[in-house]
Structure formats: C-alpha cells, structure tokens
Chains A and B, each alone.
Chain A
C-alpha cells in the first residue's frame, strides 16, 4: 500500500502540461483528483515516474453553456457538478449520477475529466457521456481534436488518448426541455463501483417514446452505448413488451467479468433490471 517513488510537476497552463507530458513520454501521467490513480499507485498496479498535476490550471475548471451545448472543464470536481444550478436545470441526470459516485470526500477531489479519461469500466461518467452523446476535447502537441465519447473507449484502461494529450473539456448537447432521464445503479455499499448501472434519456410525445439513448456501466471492459436497445423503445408506449425487448437487446451486448459483485450472468441480468427501472423512471419524468 506504499507507492513507488515519483517526481511531481505542477504546471500552470495547458500548454506547459502538454509540453511536460510530451517531454516525459510514457513514464508520465496526468494527475487530476488522484482518486483512481493514487489507489492504483499504492498497490503498484500503476508505477508512473512522473505525475503532472493539473490542479493549478485554472482554465480546466468550470461549467458553461455554449451554443446548444454544455461545456464542462475536465478539472471540475464531482462535488461542483452536484452543486451546479445550470446542470440541475439543463442536465439533471449528471447530478443524479454524480450523487451515486463514491462518497462526499471522494467527490470533493474526483473530477469529471479524470473519471472520463481513466478508462475504468467501473466509472459512472463514461456510460453517461455515451448516453448523452458527449464529445471529449483532447489537447495535445498538435492542438485540439474532438472524439465522441461513444468512440473513445477501446478496452479497460485503453482509450483514444495519445501520449502527450490531455482531456481538457467535455461538450454535451443539451437534451430537449421536458426529457425524461434516470441513472439506476446497483452497488453493494456506499463507495462501491456498480454491479451494473444504466443511464436512460428519452423524450415522449402523445404517449409514445420519440427518442431514447441508453448507456450501461461496468458490464463489459468498456462502457456500453446500447443503441439497438434504445431503438427498440422508440415509437412504443414504453409498455412491458417494449421494455422486455430493450432489456433483452441490452443484455445481449454485455460481457461482464465475474468478481466479488457476482458472477457474469448475474451482472448481465442486473444490467437488464437497472435498464428497466431507469426507463420506467425516465418515462415517469418525461413531459408528454
């Protein structure tokens, strides 16, 4: 439980941070809230020789509306997300999800950028970002590029981030007013990662579902965007038959690992149960 030795850097700007990361190469890792990285360093699963702390870079913090998008700086803490009036009004599912992450102490430190960039399928933000159709702004030595959250995750801890790149902001299209939403997460206790979780955002009109998007957490080695399952809801009244179908389609794309949370079959079924409950709750919240 004692990390190996490392050098600590605290750049003041994105440019400096990128320059450092480029110079130090594979041996360096950005440090955000440290609540995924440092536990891994303590068990020596991660042994970076350099930590480039992003906390002194003011530009990376904050939540703002820009065109039809909400833009969240990567270093915005989960605690800040929970307290944001803008998010509460436009994207309440972010608040709902954040409140289910870890515990208050961790949320004071943990950032949305770290959560999204980490690449751990247990993190809650990635599936939510996929559900919301978010894109990630990655800043590197060659400037800024945008990658859709739905394209970002390759395998556990493998993402589209290149060495020398920093996730600087997350851009989320604002869902229509009156949308229904829910994040349902099954966990063993406060501070646990999901046994399975589902994010649902949908719209209703005339008693019918007019659009739907579904993200699933911790039931594969990446977050899952359950496109077919969502399509199966559109055009239905979200009745039992439609939910049964969506659940079956969602379960079909899962491939969870067995761990202390349960065997694979259980976690697959729980993805289905969470989806069903999230869809029902989203429906009850949607303006018709």
Chain B
C-alpha cells in the first residue's frame, strides 16, 4: 500500500485552525439568531397554557379602597383574578428584594407608584386577558405624591411605606426618617476634611445622573409550569441569573430546590433589566400552582419601561480639593439615591450603593470620603446596573465631570489635569483611598495613544478659532471636546466581599471531553447576546487544543449547568471565563498523564505544543488531544479513572479593573439645541482580548447606549407622579441614522490575577461613553461660563442653556 504521508502543519498553522483566543471568530449563535431560529421564552408554548396580565395602578400614591373583580371573572375565558388578598394567606403578597427590603407582589392596601401591579388576571389567551384587566374595578383614594427625592426627608413629607413605618432599622443600619432607606459611608472623613481645609482650590458641583431604563429587544417574561403529581415546578424565564432565581423561588415558595427547574433559553438582551425578581414571575408561579396548568406572563414595552427596574437616579454632590497647580488632594462626595417605592437594587448584599466607591477614578489621591443616603419616592423600584457594574457608571460620571469642572476652575486643560493626577503604572496594585485594590493599568500610555489618534492639541486650537468666530457672529455652532478616562471595577466577585442573599459570587464551568475529542461545556453564567457560545469555546480551544468548532457551550438550564451567579456587571469573563480556563487546565494535567503513559515516557519529559503533548527533543513523538481523549476512556493508565472532564468553581481573588480613554468631538447648533457628534474615538483596555470582533461589537453597542442615555433617554415623572414618555415614541432609542460613527482602539494590560489575564469589556463603553458625551456638551458651553449642565442633553434642554446665556437675541 502506498500511503502518502499527511502534510504536517506547523504549530502556527495548527493554532490558527483552532480558532482560539485572540482570533476574530464569527459568532456561532448568530446563525440561529439571524434566521429567526432562536428560542426565546415567548416561543415556549405548552398544551393548555394560560396567559397572565396585570391590572396596574393609575395613581402614583393612593389607598386602595376596594377591588371588584366580579366583572372580569365573569368574562368567558377568564380563569382567575389574583389580588393581594389571595396572596396574603400564602405570605406571598410581598417578596424579598435583593437589597434586603421587601416589595409588594400585588399592591397591598395602597399603591406606591404609577403602573404598580394591583391584580393579576389569568385567561385563555392574551386578548381575553387584556380585555379582562379593563373590567377590574379599583377604587382609589389619592394620597399626596412624593416625586422629588430632595423633599423625601422633609419632616412633613408623606409617609410612603406604611408596611415598615415602625421598622427604624433597615438592612443597612438605622433609618432616620420614614422615607429613609439607608445611610452608608466609606473612607476617611476627618482626613478628607483636613485635606479640604488646606487646599488652594475646592471645586464643588451637584451632578445628577437621571433616571433611565435598559431597553432589551425582548422584555421580561416567563412561563411557569407546575406538575402537581411530581411536585415539580419548571420555570422558563428571561433570567440573567437563573440559579439565583431557582434559590429565591425555593426560599419563597418552600419547594425543595431540586424540584425546581429554572431554564433561561435564548435571551434577547438584558443590560441588568433581567437580574431582579418581578411580580410577574411570582404571580405566574402562583397561578400555575393554583390552576395546575402552565401560565405565561409577557410584559409589553410600556410595562417594561415603567415598572421593571429603572437605573441610576443618583444626585451626586461632588467636591475635589487641589493645589493651584492641579494636584488633587482629596475627594468628597455625597449621594442622594432615589430608589423609588421599594429598595430593589440589584447589588451585592453588603453594598447598598454598589461600587460607587470606585469614584476616585483613575487618579491618585491620598484621601477621600463618600456617603450615600437612599430614599423612597413614588416611583417604580429598581436601581439595576444598566450595562454597568453596580453604580460604577454613576461613580465614573461623578469623577469625570468633576475633573472637568476642576480644570475649568484652575484654568487648566482637562487632559493635562488628568495626566498630572494619573495613578502611575508602577503604583499597581494600587490601593485606592476608598478601599479597592486596582489590579493593573497603564493610564499614561492609553491617554497618549488616544490623544495622538484624535490630534487633541489641534482640536483645541480649532475650538479656539470657532469660539472667536462665534463671538464675532460668524457661526451659530459651538464646538465641544469631550474626554473621559475611566476605570471600571468588574467581575464581582470575591466571596470575601461579594454575595447575593448570602450566596457567594463565584462562578463555574464544567467541561466534558467526549471519546472522539469533541467537547460540551457548561457555565453558571447566561449570555443575553454577549456571545458566550463563541468566546468560551475559544478559551477552551486554546487551553486544550481542540478546535472551537468542536466545542459546544451550554448555559441557562439549572438542572445541567453548574451553579453560578449569572451574567451582569461584566462578570462572565472574569469569573466563569476564569473557571473555564482552570477547569481546562485540570483536564490538561490529566491528559499529560495519559500522554506520558501512551508514549512511555515520564510526564516531565513532555511539552505542550498547541494541540498535543510531544516528547521534548523528539517532536515526531507526540499524542494529540483527540488521541488522548479516546485513550482516556478506553485505555487509561492503570490506577487512573477513565474519562476526561473537570469542574471548577472559581472564587476570584480580586475584581478586575478595565479602563479606557474616550474622546468625542461635537458641534451644537445653538438655535435649535441640536448636537451633532462629529467624531467619537474609544480606546479600551480590557486586558487579554479573547475575540477582537466581539469586543468591537460590545463597544459599538455600549457606546450607542451611552449616546442615547447622555443625549436623550429619560424616565420622567410629572408632579403627580405620572410616568412620562414610557414608550419608544418618546424614550430615545437612536436608530442607525442618529448614531455616530465609532472608532475603536485598544491597549492590552493583562490582569495579573486572572488565569488568562482578561478583564471584561461589556459595560466599559456605556460607563465611559456617558461622561464623554456629557463632557463634550459641557465643554462646548464652558467658555461662556455656563456652569455644569445636567443630562439628558436633548435638543430643547441645550436650547434652554443658550437661552439662559442670552445666545438667541
């Protein structure tokens, strides 16, 4: 037989074929998403399934005098109408929130915000349910409404939470008023006061980060199916953290956890909106238990925008102390946090204001002090991290605006002020004054690269000329240059300081190699569009030398996936990504033992070469991973158990600290207030880059959100507490036409403690983008001494600035 020897590929060629880390692998999940073959919650259709819909409050604050459900119940096709009275005997009319408060599942005796859930109608189809909610008659007695958080703690402010009015100690310590939720502080108060007393310059502003809301394409929804014979509950839902939901459902319902099957199928975007537990989930579960058939609940867009989990609503009085030549000496910040009617923030339990204490940013300062007061108002509850790791967006906004206003007061260029105060590369790991240990960074390098790329000094010169021309009346446009140099804190997190309801915030991966060398791997996280099926496979491909295309990634089924805390706060790569690498390395260690046995050499005589172990000095003697996989099942070394799989639960030693330098150039038409973004440049350092194309996609999406938030998105309330503009007619969701063109760039500073050096990138562009846009707007007006201009920067508000400055004569 004349067999031709196969052409042997070089190591580099073999590595390329793996499609491992660093390659722009196309997203495998997109094949089904782009062909309409995704499988979302609303695609779940079970025999006999019923539909639930909510009767919602028309008032922001009112006593419920009566609820008459008789007409609704009489409508053919209606099977049940639940009210708080039905849930009370089950002790389910309130549910615990992630923040240590309770939240009404259905309004009990009074309503606390407009569109609050009052009754849950269950009917044969969606249309009947929608008709039936119109037939439920609720009689309200209106109460005084509290909308302005600054009035929440006034002595005569209306009492909102009657259910806890005597409970003057909350989950985070004493409450000083009936509308007070918590006071939380951190840092060296006295030391900060001292530094301020000695400073040449004190710069103080109140920065409001207005109330906004994530807009995933798919709203929140679930299908609950109780099998009364087996005593088992299956719950499909849009859950960013399916395991946590399973634990919470078990704790609330009393069903044993192994009899609860929580499944998060494909999710159409989350952005923090799908972390919390909502009334719809509880009501669907109760209805399914009561009626013994599956019940589906799907919220519509208006319900989504006006009820399930807003974001931000932080009012941040921010002070910087500095020498007159621009060295920052201290920071002081007080936050008034508007949490709405219930404290349902999704933060790690010990952190009532999330990681707001990252607010000293990228700057080296000896001392700082942060305090936060949380208050109740007649607005929807929530306080989720909208594409942001736990209040990091707010923190970055505060410091990046404060740097700008300080620079203005000092008469200094704000880029120079940043450079002067950067934490230097040799200072890492850096102990920040508010407690965090930054793992790594090279800020001056990133800043220089960004400034060179945009031609910063030339832009300033051009701006100067434009300002002169404006003063001479030759143009009606103002040019603004926005800068943001952000440091994020992501990857929650180490069990020493992060838990949710007592569950430590580790994450997990389980990898199983089949005899023929292909792989199934499961993680405790849950992609909502981030591309986990693509990127986790790349990590394994590089670690184990198996082509990414031969690796299947599965998430979201709590029966099969290892326990994990889910996906939000850019935590998947820092936690489950790390677990993936560690589990793969366990497998590799066993593979090495098997290879040594097969090659009849000592383990130490082997070296790894892309997809194989080879004998040192004898490269033609090797065993590929595929060969080893077969042998692991069928001819393992004596005394070694067969099979090739591993699990890792990864408790990260620290958070990761991605950073970036963003620049924006904007032109504002003072006659209309319309702002046009001429240029936006984003340099991100997220450590090791697993898939540059996915990073770029994440950055594009995050910047688009940041643009929307800074330039128009807002959940607004009028004085009666009516929620305004909670539909896409008003809530600003930019289309491709409005969205600026994005330029992306990067530096790479690997995380020293992460197994592959990766840091997470999903949220950076939102976190860094918002202050960059806001700084550009503020910078445009700064030469006219406009003072700080609050977001959102939509056209009418910018026109009002012009009006205030007398620019419209």
Hey, which chain B residues are within 8 Å of A2, CB to CB?
126-127, 130, 300
Given contacts A5-B127, A186-B795, contact A266 B734 (CB under 8 A): no
Task: Please tell me if the beta carbons of A186 and B672 are within 8 angstroms of each other in the complex.
Answer: yes
Hey, which chain B residues are within 8 Å of A129, CB to CB?
none
Report A96-128 residues with CB < 8 Å from chain B CB: 103
Given A259-B730, A263-B796, 11 more pairs with CB closer than 8 A: A1-B301, A2-B126, A2-B300, A43-B302, A186-B795, A189-B733, A189-B735, A190-B737, A262-B794, A262-B795, A269-B808
Q: Which of A43, A189, A269, A273 contacts B738 (CB 8 A)?
A: A189
Q: Which of A44, A190, A260, A273 contacts B735 (CB 8 A)?
A: A190
A103-B724 Cα distance, complex, nearest whole Å: 24
Distance from A40 Cβ to chain B, minimum over Cβ atoms (Å): 12
Task: Please tell me if the beta carbons of A191 and B799 are within 8 angstroms of each other in the complex.
Answer: no
**B131 at the A/B interface (Cβ < 8 Å)?**
yes
A190-B796 Cα distance, complex, nearest whole Å: 17
Task: Please tell me if the beta carbons of A262 and B799 are within 8 angstroms of each other in the complex.
Answer: yes
Task: Please tell me if the beta carbons of B126 and A260 are within 8 angstroms of each other in the complex.
Answer: no
A270-B725 Cα distance, complex, nearest whole Å: 21
Task: Please tell me if the beta carbons of B130 and A273 are within 8 angstroms of each other in the complex.
Answer: no
Distance from B652 Cβ to chain A, minimum over Cβ atoms (Å): 41
Distance from A186 Cβ to chain B, minimum over Cβ atoms (Å): 6
**Binary interface profile of A, 163-192, with partner B (CB < 8 Å = 1, else 0)?**
000000000000000000000001011111
Report B652-687 residues with CB < 8 Å from chain A CB: 671-674
Give me the interface of A with B, judged by CB distance under 8 Å: 1-2, 4-5, 43-44, 103, 186, 188-192, 195, 259-263, 266, 269-270, 273
Hey, which chain A residues are within 8 Å of B732, CB to CB?
188-189
Task: Please tell me if the beta carbons of B671 and A4 are within 8 angstroms of each other in the complex.
Answer: no
Task: Please tell me if the beta carbons of B672 and A273 are within 8 angstroms of each other in the complex.
Answer: yes
A-B contact pairs, 15 of them (CB 8 A): A1-B300, A1-B302, A2-B300, A186-B795, A188-B712, A188-B732, A188-B794, A188-B795, A195-B795, A259-B730, A260-B724, A260-B730, A262-B796, A266-B673, A269-B808
Given contacts A2-B130, A186-B795, contact A270 B734 (CB under 8 A): no
**B800 at the A/B interface (Cβ < 8 Å)?**
yes
Task: Please tell me if the beta carbons of B302 and A191 are within 8 angstroms of each other in the complex.
Answer: no
Hey, which chain A residues are within 8 Å of B413, CB to CB?
none
A262-B516 Cα distance, complex, nearest whole Å: 65
Distance from A151 Cβ to chain B, minimum over Cβ atoms (Å): 30
Distance from B77 Cβ to chain A, minimum over Cβ atoms (Å): 11
Hey, which chain B residues are within 8 Å of A43, CB to CB?
302
Task: Please tell me if the beta carbons of A5 and B796 are within 8 angstroms of each other in the complex.
Answer: no
**Binary interface profile of B, 122-138, with partner A (CB < 8 Å = 1, else 0)?**
00001100110010000
Q: Which of B127, B134, B672, B724 contacts A270 (CB 8 A)?
A: B672
Hey, which chain A residues are within 8 Å of B735, CB to CB?
103, 189-191
Hey, which chain B residues are within 8 Å of A1, CB to CB?
300-302
Distance from B716 Cβ to chain A, minimum over Cβ atoms (Å): 8
Report B699-734 residues with CB < 8 Å from chain A CB: 712, 716, 724-725, 729-730, 732-734
A263-B796 Cα distance, complex, nearest whole Å: 8
A259-B716 Cα distance, complex, nearest whole Å: 11
Distance from B313 Cβ to chain A, minimum over Cβ atoms (Å): 18
Which one of A44, A190, A260, A270 has the greatest number of beta carbons of chain B within 10 Å?
A260
Hey, which chain B residues are within 8 Å of A270, CB to CB?
672
A10-B800 Cα distance, complex, nearest whole Å: 50
A192-B795 Cα distance, complex, nearest whole Å: 14
The 4 A-B residue pairs with the shortest CB-CB distance, nearest first, are A262-B796, A2-B130, A1-B300, A260-B730
Hey, which chain A residues are within 8 Å of B808, CB to CB?
269
Q: Which of A44, A186, A261 contacts B134 (CB 8 A)?
A: A44
Hey, which chain A residues are within 8 Å of B301, CB to CB?
1
Task: Please tell me if the beta carbons of B796 and A261 are within 8 angstroms of each other in the complex.
Answer: yes
Hey, which chain B residues are within 8 Å of A269, CB to CB?
799, 808
Task: Please tell me if the beta carbons of A266 and B800 are within 8 angstroms of each other in the complex.
Answer: yes
Task: Please tell me if the beta carbons of A5 and B131 are within 8 angstroms of each other in the complex.
Answer: yes
Which one of B126, B672, B673, B716 has the greatest number of beta carbons of chain A within 10 Å?
B672
Q: Which of A4, A5, A192, A266 contacts B799 (CB 8 A)?
A: A266
Hey, which chain A residues are within 8 Å of B674, CB to CB?
186
